[in-house]
Structure 1
Amino acid sequence: MRVLPLSEVRATMIELVGGKAAGLGELIAAGERVPDGFCLTVEAWRAGEVPEPELLDAYRRLGGGRVAVRSSATAEDLPEASFAGQQETFLDVEGEQALVAAVERCWASLDSERARAYRANAGITGAEMAVVVQRMVDPVVAGVMFTANPITGCRTETVVDAAPGLGTAIVEGTVVPDHYVLGAGAPAVPAGCLTGGQLERLRAAGWRLQARFGTPQDVEWAFDADGTLWLLQSRPVTTLFPAPPGTGDTRLYLEFGHLQGMLRPATPMGVAILKLGAGLWLAAAGAKVDRRDPMPRLVPIGGRLYLDLTDFLRSRVTRAGLGASLETYGPRVQRAVERMLDDPRFAPRAGLPFRLGTAIRMTVRLGPAGLVGVARCLLRPDDARARAYRAVHRIRNLVRPPAGLTGSAERLRWIVEDSHRPLTSMTLQGLMWPLTTGLLVGLASAALLNGIASDEELGEVLGGMPYNVTTDMDLALWRVSVAARAHRELFLETPPEELSARFLAGDLPEIGLTGFLARYGMRAAAEIDVGMPRWAEDPAPLFAAIANYLRVTDPEQGPDRRFARAAAKADRMITTLTRRAGPVRGRVAGFLMRRSRKLTGLREIGKFAWLPMLRAAREQLLAIGADLATRGLLERADDVMFVDLAELGRIVHDGADLRAVIAERRAEYRRELRRHSVPGALLSDGTDLETVVEPLPAVDGVLTGMAGAAGRATGRARVIRDPAGARIEPGEILVAPTTDPGWTPLFLTAAALVTETGSPVAHGPTVAREYGIPAVICVRDATREIRTGQLITVDGAAGTVTLDES
């Protein structure tokens, strides 16, 4: 079937007719007014030559004359990729030979450089080409309509751009159109080239299309001289961040994952296991927990974790201090949330955003024990640190599954009931108070020296901080790379993926990596997600880091010596600040700073202690997945990561077939992996709050963020979006969307760090301070504004990145 009338085309035929024709066929089926036409299908394209008899016969039956000839690729107008402007459209084509030539040029555009690059960026490996031929409409005015605001993400606004004549001038950007933003319930105000009635007709059409297709639509339209509204195309708006779940109420969500250095989407099982563990600890601390959703305020949106802040924003008790508490989110998010304090939708109400009884029980259980625990840690910090390490060892032992564990049902019961058993200890087996004390003494010393020490000097005190498990891990990997020097060419010239396969097969020289993995193999990038493979499963990122380290030829630039220099600088700064603060304040500040050096490094140990639980749960989940795949209930073992615990129970116990759901979630997960930016603050109508806050004053050539680690460095940028297999030369500046412990091996050869998100207390800036490298965080669109190889200067104290445009 090489030619089909558009009236016979349906959405299910996309592999035959392409995305554009499928959309037009659905518009016709919905009763919308669409110019008459036909589709030259993919079967004609596969033949390699234009089937002129069939094409021209269809053209004659259409009545000949002027037509529009438009590409309709099978990878076009999709929910995840619009391909807007990537393939060709030809208007006012008249005559049979002109039509044949236009079809040939549409076909050729499938293999244009821009189309190939777009497909590669979208992760699309193959596409085929159909062609749509339609009668030309002579518009008086034409344009584009979005049924959700494409800039802010607001789902309750319709945006219309219009100009006299053909709408192609708008999509090509050759005219300045009249721009209309139609709010929900607000009457359309006539202006420019459209009347109020025309705007209302467009809005109504947009609502119909969105309801039919189930997602916001990007619509091309035209009004002719008779006032008839023609719809020329409707496709999904592909750039919108997924909307929060509907609640019937306006709510505000704060992105939570970047505090852990994680912007990639989490798997559904990753969210479920996170909530399982948090719920167990909250119950142990005295909170009432619903086992169906132990943390209802933690909401997955687009696979990212968001905290529902609404009740805190509306409470008269908590709203006043909310802005100050958000400093760690950076200035943009902080200003966006503060703006909502004046929004009538978040007007203050009486009451608390939590149960008073729960707060009292948790205070009674934690308060006295906390005072005693912190006091003990202050008096004997070395003993406290030893207790913390013993706690980690106990937790490792507690999460070992029984040797006789067999069968999916039994494994699932162990995951739910026993894999996170250490979290039923209110103090995490004694780990909490050393960790808490380390955080408190750091904050207390900074407060005591307020007005006496600069932020840069206080940051220097944190340099070379000992006893940090992440820093220890990175230095241990450096020692592995030192052992690898005897095989330098092998590790420099072999791809990391090949080295990983050879290592797992036992076909590599021993350089100490086996011992490293015995302690740190449970780690990975985005390691808080149980769905992520661990380094023990695939050590390829470690081999990439080892290759980076082998490029360090100056011993003084080795991370061990850099770390030692940062520690020596910190000791000198403590002495300087102690003297400057005077006899009394100086003595107290000196005591706190030196206690901080003994305890603050423990800030990473809490998460490190949690990783054995995640690893044990992951191993059992994959065993369940392998069993279910063997039984035909799953396609592959790691499909278990795309269901939650309740759904997995349905598969295990009832044989439920969720393979279609899993496939859909995998596709959505792959789409979200390609998203380069994530809203920091989001309203329930989809509005990205940062887009509606006035931007900070811009300075040419300077990107402004937030101070992460003091110091200045100038070097060539290396933009990296995924640490797996990443290469960074000594002295380059790492520019990344975010960082977590899985990224930190790259820090050892970097001169500085720049991230798009983050918090001063997150892993990336913390480790940067300890290595003595400057860091600037919360630099919006840094990975797009900065290019690899560009000379930049990072000022970690000022929170700026200066670009050398030469």
Structure 2
Amino acid sequence: MDVRSVVGLDGVRRGMGDLVGGKAANLGEMVAAGERVPPGFCVTTAAHASGTVPAEPITRAYEALGAGRVAVRSSATAEDLPEASFAGQQDTYLDVEGADAVVDAVRRCWASLDNERAVAYRRANGLDRADVRMAVVVQRMVDADTAGVMFTADPLTGSRSRTVVDAVRGPGGAVVDGSVEPDHYAVDDGRLVDGAGGCLAPGQVVELAAAGRRLQGLFGSPQDVEWVHDRDGVLWLLQSRPVTTLFPLPPQDLPDLPRFYMEVGHMQGMLRPFTPLGLAMLQRMWTRWWGSVGFATGDADPDPLMVGVGGRLFVDLSAFLRSSPLRGRLPQAMDVYGPRARAAVEHLLDDPRFAPRPGLPFPASTGLRVAAALLPSAVFGVGHALARPRAARARAQAAVARLRALRGPGAGAGSASRLDWVTGRALDAMLGRDLTRVIGPVFAGIVTGTAPAALLRGVATREETDTVLGGLPHNVTTEMDLALWRIAERARAHGDLFTRTPPEELAARYLRGELPEVGLAAFLDAYGHRAAAEVDIGVPRWRENPAPVFASVANYLRLDDPEQAPDRRFERAGAAAGAALAELVPRALRRRPVRGAVAAFLMSRSRELAGLREYGKFAWLVPFAEMRRQVLLVGADLAGLGLLETADDVFFLDLDEVRSTVDGCVDRRSLVAERRHLHLRERRRRTVPGTLLTDGTDAAAALPSPAVEPGGLPGTPAAPGRAEGRARVVLDPSGARVEPGEILVAPTTDPGWTPLFMTAAGLVSETGSPIAHGPTVAREYGIPAVICVRDATTAIRTGDLLRVDGSAGTVVVVADAGDGPAATDPTDPTDLTDPTDLTDLTFTDGESPREG
């Protein structure tokens, strides 16, 4: 047997993780730092690799420990890591006594490496079994008076300022396994703020919090600590591992802390993390646009308004929250982000850290310059669209045609010139005159779609004014979805081919020219620059990988009720809108003559303009696709030089890094591998805070949950109507399907999701805004939608029977999945285990793998 088969904890250090596993490495580091840790030893991975339990060395170490009762715990190499704790996934045995019993417990710990829950956990976290080795920790048992668990950050709100402690009388296993309700304590900055009484004295709680802060400093991140007080009241630390679920912190090195941030990516249907280049491009676009209207921020602003946190896009609203003239208006402005965001802002108005200050967040002269740059063209654009909607639409379409003709450097161009084009001429074209000609009609459409509800308050319900917006013409996303439906109709002659062949195989065959012509080429010419999560330049477009398009076609081919055909549903929504308009206008003129006349004009114009809501984003995505193509060519050049592994590795660098790689021939392969790993880890994050403070607190999560009826989930009304159907929980639209009559439950939606609406009876999403893409299209299809339903994709399971009220903004789980059809489809592509393949990251995850 290897002489390194057993080592004492006092000889273990953090860098020995490959030999002793994560748990033992942390314990050894704690011992070396002078913390009070029960003495013990570790059966190493070298012994596990041999396959034979080293009985004799274990016996000797056990006897040297003084024999008696011990705890035997797993310490795999994948345990207690920053990205995966493996908490409770492998076995622990307490009160083990006798050498033979200890040897047997070690053997059983080894076997638990492949128990069902550990296998499932590795699969969910993308860990390869071949990379995991098992060590085992044996420690003297402590005769517990009180015991429990401590987190040095609040796991519910994310606050790094708060330490929380759960404690019970006797051993702490009941806290870990959740079998009893423990006493709960909270400590803010060393001060007990919650939990007076219970089994711990205030001094013990404060002592625990101080120990937790020491461990957090030792390991460099918030810690999950198991502890015990012995019968003499002495504190022992049994285990410390990173808290793996916390959302990353926003910038900490800024003046005037704390800061308040709002996550804005979800307004574009973007909750998955951006690639580094995708985030950098949006930030560059932001600063370039503000600079063009007189608000200079600079590409390297030391105090930026827009920041990336965890790969998501946040905007710093601190200055607005502290501004005396503006802060009172901020809660109402948050309505577009949902009721929880508004409630969070209202709560922070009373927070002394955000006390009001005189003045605006920016100099008055800057405001005047911005107004002078924007107002004339905005007023003209909106006015022209209201007066001559057909001419305004034609003007916008001509602008998009010019953007389609934009091409970057051709064959033979160098990487430097391609980068210059992307960050120079292409950005100027995206943000220039052509986009301005699109934005005017878009703003006019927003006004005509939203103003009537305010003008007719007390005269018409919101449901009635929303019905007027059903079946809107001139919506580019609706037109895209109906074009997909026409492809599906042509594909019916080849039904088995398109429904039984996996979308990825169909995509490959299409690109090889091996499929029958059903109109896909024309579709991709018009819409191939789109994709789910399309605002990230790092995401492949449908033209590159049409697999999601084929998945949607297969979805449509399952429709067998002619009345549920998307074109018929769209027609019915339009007819209902016409009927509502005919009834509302006379009522409005009768009860509010002046307001009614204005509302009647705007509602009639909404049928001409409100559908353009989607056109602004569609327009700037046209040159965005050409910019992506040019960046990929740069990536191919760098891969050819051995500086990257593959062309799409370039999207895991920011703009400055790409430039320095091109100019200095810097090898970026190891950096990209690390970034891909982090990106995949963030892809698995199920919840993203919508509101974030400097210390990591999700301001909305810290609020009390609103009262709802049993089985009900509160949300925000987004598209009127009511529907009942089985839930289909989808985390990514690519490769997913929604059966006719099912309710689509999603984390967010953007135009890449809308093909799924064609067969859905209703929509439920965790984020969004009534004026965002998903609700807009839902209204046009005449399906009810409820948005901002917190944790919908985890609280609801595929197969649950839902009742959705898009007018009231409520979702009720009428019956769980056990009373209905199968909750999951084993053929759905859900594997996200390859951190090196961007195509997999983008296109292979479909429905939620959660089965209950």
What is the Cα deviation at residue 54 of structure 1?
2.9
Deviation digits for residues 94-120 of structure 1, max 9, x if unmatched?
A: 112211221122122222222222222
CA distance in 1, matches of 2:497, 2:301: 50
Q: Does 1:718 align with 2:728?
A: yes
Q: Does 1:739 align with 2:762?
A: no
Structural mapping, 1:112-261, within 5 Å: 112-126=115-129, 127-186=132-191, 191-246=197-252, 247=254, 249-261=257-269
Deviation digits for residues 396-441 of structure 1, max 9, x if unmatched?
A: 223x103256222222222211221224425625222111111122
| Corresponding residue SS for 1:689 | coil
1:77 maps to 80
Which range moves more in the overlay, 530-539 or 32-41? 32-41
1:514 maps to 521
CA distance in 1, matches of 2:46, 2:516: 54
* 2:485 partner letter: W
Q: Does 1:500 align with 2:500?
A: no
What is the Cα deviation at residue 743 of structure 1?
0.6
Structural mapping, 1:263-662, within 5 Å: 263-293=271-301, 296-398=304-406, 400-404=407-411, 406-425=413-432, 428-582=435-589, 584-585=593-594, 586-662=596-672
CA distance in 1, matches of 2:207, 2:384: 72
What is the Cα deviation at residue 192 of structure 1?
3.2
2:689 maps to 679
| Corresponding residue SS for 1:276 | helix
What is the Cα deviation at residue 443 of structure 1?
2.5
* Residues 297 and 304, structure 2, Cα contact 8 Å, conserved in 1: no
* Residues 190 and 210, structure 2, Cα contact 8 Å, conserved in 1: no
CA distance in 1, matches of 2:67, 2:640: 58
What is the Cα deviation at residue 190 of structure 1?
6.8
CA distance in 2, matches of 1:295, 1:381: 42
What is the Cα deviation at residue 314 of structure 1?
0.4
1:765 maps to 775
Aligned residues: 805
What is the Cα deviation at residue 394 of structure 1?
1.2
Which range moves more in the overlay, 313-322 or 16-25? 16-25
| Corresponding residue SS for 1:211 | helix
Deviation digits for residues 463-517 of structure 1, max 9, x if unmatched?
A: 0111111111111111111111111101111111221222222222222112211
* 2:183 partner letter: D
Structural mapping, 1:23-38, within 5 Å: 23-38=26-41
Per the normalisation by structure 2, the TM-score is 0.91
Which range moves more in the overlay, 410-419 or 223-232? 223-232
CA distance in 2, matches of 1:544, 1:443: 34
* Residues 752 and 794, structure 1, Cα contact 8 Å, conserved in 2: yes
Which range moves more in the overlay, 560-569 or 163-172? 163-172
CA distance in 2, matches of 1:470, 1:742: 9
Which range moves more in the overlay, 369-378 or 207-216? 369-378
Structure 2 CA distance for partners of 1:500 and 1:15, relative to 1, 3 Å: farther
Among 788, 798, 801, the alignment partner of 1:788 is 798
* Residues 408 and 627, structure 2, Cα contact 8 Å, conserved in 1: no
CA distance in 2, matches of 1:660, 1:221: 38
| Corresponding residue SS for 2:245 | coil
* Residues 280 and 423, structure 1, Cα contact 8 Å, conserved in 2: no
Structure 2 CA distance for partners of 1:238 and 1:427, relative to 1, 3 Å: same
* Residues 435 and 620, structure 2, Cα contact 8 Å, conserved in 1: no
* Residues 186 and 192, structure 2, Cα contact 8 Å, conserved in 1: no
* 2:35 partner letter: E
1:753 maps to 763
* 1:327 partner letter: D
Structure 2 CA distance for partners of 1:514 and 1:294, relative to 1, 3 Å: farther
Structure 2 CA distance for partners of 1:165 and 1:549, relative to 1, 3 Å: same
CA distance in 2, matches of 1:635, 1:29: 41
Structure 1, unaligned stretches of length 5 or more? none
What is the Cα deviation at residue 798 of structure 1?
0.6
Structure 2, unaligned stretches of length 5 or more? 820-852
Which range moves more in the overlay, 121-130 or 572-581? 121-130
Structure 2 CA distance for partners of 1:54 and 1:635, relative to 1, 3 Å: farther
Q: Does 1:11 align with 2:14?
A: yes
Deviation digits for residues 182-231 of structure 1, max 9, x if unmatched?
A: 11153689743333443333222211211121110011112223443322
| Corresponding residue SS for 1:402 | coil
| Corresponding residue SS for 2:114 | coil
CA distance in 2, matches of 1:56, 1:108: 20
CA distance in 2, matches of 1:626, 1:373: 42
* 2:737 partner letter: R
Percent pairwise identity: 58
Structure 2 CA distance for partners of 1:652 and 1:293, relative to 1, 3 Å: farther
Among 103, 107, 110, the alignment partner of 1:107 is 110
What is the Cα deviation at residue 30 of structure 1?
2.3
CA distance in 1, matches of 2:690, 2:562: 41
Q: Does 1:695 align with 2:705?
A: yes
| Corresponding residue SS for 2:103 | helix
Structure 2 CA distance for partners of 1:666 and 1:102, relative to 1, 3 Å: same
* Residues 279 and 294, structure 1, Cα contact 8 Å, conserved in 2: no
* Residues 713 and 810, structure 2, Cα contact 8 Å, conserved in 1: yes
The RMSD of aligned alpha carbons is 1.9
CA distance in 2, matches of 1:366, 1:178: 58
Deviation digits for residues 740-787 of structure 1, max 9, x if unmatched?
A: 111111000101000111110111101000111000011111112211
Among 792, 800, 805, the alignment partner of 2:810 is 800
* Residues 192 and 205, structure 2, Cα contact 8 Å, conserved in 1: no
| Corresponding residue SS for 1:342 | coil
CA distance in 2, matches of 1:759, 1:366: 24
What is the Cα deviation at residue 24 of structure 1?
1.4
* Residues 552 and 737, structure 2, Cα contact 8 Å, conserved in 1: yes
* 1:192 partner letter: G
CA distance in 1, matches of 2:421, 2:687: 37
* Residues 409 and 417, structure 2, Cα contact 8 Å, conserved in 1: no
| Corresponding residue SS for 2:440 | helix
Structure 2 CA distance for partners of 1:58 and 1:407, relative to 1, 3 Å: farther
CA distance in 2, matches of 1:626, 1:539: 21
Which range moves more in the overlay, 210-219 or 688-697? 688-697
What is the Cα deviation at residue 293 of structure 1?
4.5
Deviation digits for residues 508-560 of structure 1, max 9, x if unmatched?
A: 22221122111111111110011111111211111111111000112221101
* 2:581 partner letter: I
